[in-house]
Structure 1
């Protein structure tokens, strides 16, 4: 199989040249187009092995290659990671990518992998793959393969692992198929257990027109949805459940990051938002909760998940944060506030019913949010899980999509 597109094989040739050459030889036997990319952070004598030399990659750093070849290992790794990400984003022939590394190499390679669109095969063979890999994967579709032994030469174990890695990436290219199904426009929806009724109802009513992709609002869920928005794989967003913001601001375990809503601004994607589950912050078991929250109102969702009711002051801070983020969006944005309650627990007679906290959110949001021809605020007296609120969401989304 000859192709003008390329499998990028990425590693630090000063330490992993034998292993990456072994993988390339296996892929060459399948007549696959491959390039070795060197991301070493110090000069060495093996440049002849690389199609793309480390100096070339380093030159993509905004401050030039001297920012990478600085003599400080920690700074060099950070700089090369930035340079490689910019290098990879500048290539238009990436068929697949395979990385090989220990802790430093994995930290160098995976940020660039995350910048690639979902669907491009990405495999990271790493000594770090047996631990917590969330920081390496982010919201991307990176596959991690544990190297078992250290990546330090070809031996009876590494030969098996590296052969599997080569076959993995070869198979993803050789058996790539084009979808024969004509896809409906894809939209992203955010959901939590306490907003399930709303999101399921909306999805069911939109199912015939749209491919409804529901994301669990657990921090990684919001990031995954926005990753697809950044990759232009979504036609619209129904961000009904923005609870990740509360966790981010108040030490919760299901937090977004500072870039929440950033993809909405960058992509200008049609957006309908709401304040689903902003009445709570998520923690693990009670014994893990910080002492500063010990006098608060809690609800045990299950033995491993404890919910804390947000206060008026916290709701005001969340409203300010979200409104300022949405003010940066130039596409169509509609934010709908369900005055009847933000979650299944935030309902009259419910465990988190606290109207003054919700009102603090509403007052602050109205004060900060700048309405324009494309950006508007709607308040409705209904509860977030009510049929009336669901119908309002659908009606507004239909208007925006037209």
Structure 2
């Protein structure tokens, strides 16, 4: 069982050697990769820096000539990621361990982001107690704060490095395979997105789908969650998507703190994975404490969710642009897609008596999506007289996804002349919007149910 150990051996060679010996003592084989770009390595690597820079389309000589540290780190990051990917494809790797300061963290994290979900990945870093999102991205590796700088072996660094090595030994020896544990492989894997203000909907839909034999993985739509879900989809691990909480699009458009990047919504469309999509929490943009909200947004409608989370209502023109962007992404779909529009509100805060209730802004969002998808061959839009947190909406969303899974995903056809509508649900599976008379419970009860999520202790 082989573990890749990454470090800059010109500056961290002694520490890398200590970790290597600890891993070997625990019964693992170790491949040491030298990602350094400066002086002579302090220990002998298994994969020298020459191979690393060649894998990045560069060379040690070129790095020495330019004497550009930023460029050297970028080249090393690309090279190490490429080398590690090759080792993984060859079936040689069961885990990855790295250590470093700012440069080493950049280099090691690039390799870990390229590795599959489920493979043990540990990074000992001087930056682990700060903002780690640029390093972790949508990956599942974990970072251990080095406490002291990784500069020599002492009672602190020995303990931290030993803990990291021992954690890796335990994960590798205790794991059955280097990839995602797949005990439920016989069940369709569905990914879903959720926020505190859409929890009633997604929780109910999840339970329905699980009762129907699906395995459902719910992602918290906090930017990192959306990225992680899209990574799983692109890795080919997902059978269908229940993307009911697309709020990260609003943060990307307006400048909130929970953006998942400009490619959110693209993975399922590009990978040919069927999906049911809705507009959960597109009424809000996320910021930290109220005093951190940029001055440019002063005067807007805010809701202080708790001392560390401030929400801002999206404007009508922003809602219209969100609809346009959603439609643009979903038009790329190469498998059957259903978009459900909850006409009575898109979050717990978007309901009568709640701070973000704005039917005019919602109408701009809804119309923009309808207009952008009206001639799509694979994307069907359904508007229903429900709130997103009504139980009937969750039931409808899960039913639409089950219809797609039962009938088999429809793929994009090569020609528009072919008979039939490639986006149509089979007649035996089709049903119209739920009858409003069968929605159950009166309006007051539903509003109380929605409003109970407006609590300072219920975290987004």
TM-score (norm 2): 0.80
Is 1:189 aligned to residue 192 of structure 2? Answer: yes
> Secondary structure, in 3 states, of the residue corresponding to 2:55?
coil
Q: Could you tell me which residue of structure 1 aligns to residue 33 of structure 2? A: 37
Displacement, 1:60? Answer: 2.0
In structure 2, distance between residues paired with 1:46 and 1:357? 61
Q: Is the 8 A contact 1:226 1:263 kept in 2?
A: yes
Q: Give per-residue Cα distances to partners, 1:32-76, cap 9 Å, x unaligned.
A: 22111111124x443971111112121222567777554200121
Q: In structure 2, what is the equivalent of residue 320 of structure 1?
A: 324
> What is the DSSP-based 3-state SS (H/G/I as helix, E as strand, rest coil) of the residue aligned with 1:393?
helix
Q: Name whichever of 362-371 and 389-398 sits farther off.
A: 362-371
Q: 1:145 to 1:48 in 2, by over 3 A?
A: closer
Distance 1:122 1:74, change over 3 A: same
In 1, Cα distance between equivalents of 2:29 and 2:260: 38
1:25 is matched with which residue? 21
How do 1:94-243 and structure 2 match up within 5 A? 94-177=93-176, 181-182=183-184, 184-208=187-211, 209-243=213-247
Q: Distance in 1 between matches of 2:126 and 2:308?
A: 30
The answer on whether the counterparts of 2:273 and 2:334 sit within 8 Å (CA) in structure 1 is no
Find the residue that maps to 2:16 and give its secondary structure: helix
Name stretches of at least 5 consecutive residues in structure 1 with no aligned partner: none
Residue aligning to 1:61: 56
Tell me the equivalent position of 1:16: 12
Of 77, 86, 92, the match for 2:82: 86
Displacement of 1:245: 1.1
CA-CA distance at 1:236 after TM superposition: 1.7
> Unaligned regions of 5+ residues in structure 2, if any?
407-460
Matches within 5 A, 1:205-354: 205-208=208-211, 209-354=213-358
Shift of 1:27: 2.3
1:74 is aligned, of 60, 70, 75, to 70
Q: Following the alignment from structure 2 to structure 1, what is the Cα–Cα distance between the partners of residues 373 and 62?
A: 41
Q: Is the 8 Å Cα contact of residues 67 and 79 (structure 1) preserved in structure 2?
A: no
Q: Provide the secondary structure at the position in 2 that maps to 1:350.
A: coil
Aligned to 2:319, what secondary structure does the other structure show? helix
Label 1:33 to 1:65 Cα distance change in 2 as closer, same or farther (>3 A): same
Q: TM-score, normalised by structure 1?
A: 0.91
Residue 374 (str. 1) matches residue 369 (str. 2): no
CA displacement at 1:282 relative to structure 2: 2.0
Tell me the distance in 2 between the aligned counterparts of 1:364 and 1:62.
Answer: 45
> CA offset at residue 191 of structure 1?
1.2
Residue deviations 1:131-174 (CA, integer Å, cap 9, x gap): 23232222222121222222222233322222222222112112
Q: What is the CA-CA distance between 1:113 and the residue it aligns to?
A: 0.3
Render the CA deviation track for 1:194-230: whole Å, top value 9, x for unaligned: 2112111111211221122222212122122222223
1:138 and 1:220 in contact (8 A); partners too: yes
What is the Cα deviation at residue 120 of structure 1?
0.4
1:363 to 343, 363, 367: 367
Q: CA–CA distance in 2 between the matches of 1:133 and 1:263?
A: 24
Q: 8 Å contact 1:47–1:53 — kept in the other structure?
A: no
CA RMSD of aligned residues (A): 2.3
Structure 1 CA distance for aligned equivalents of residues 85 and 375 of structure 2? 35
Q: Choose 192-201 or 345-354, whichever is displaced more.
A: 345-354
Q: Separation in 1 of the partners of 2:74 and 2:140?
A: 22
1:399 is displaced (CA, Å) by 2.1
Q: Cα offset for 1:175?
A: 1.9
- In structure 2, C-alpha distance between the alignment counterparts of 1:333 and 1:64, rounded to whole Å: 47
Cα distance in 1 for partners of 2:182, 2:40 equals 49
Give CA deviations for 1:336-381 in whole Å, capped at 9, x if unaligned: 2112221122224433222221121122223333754433222223
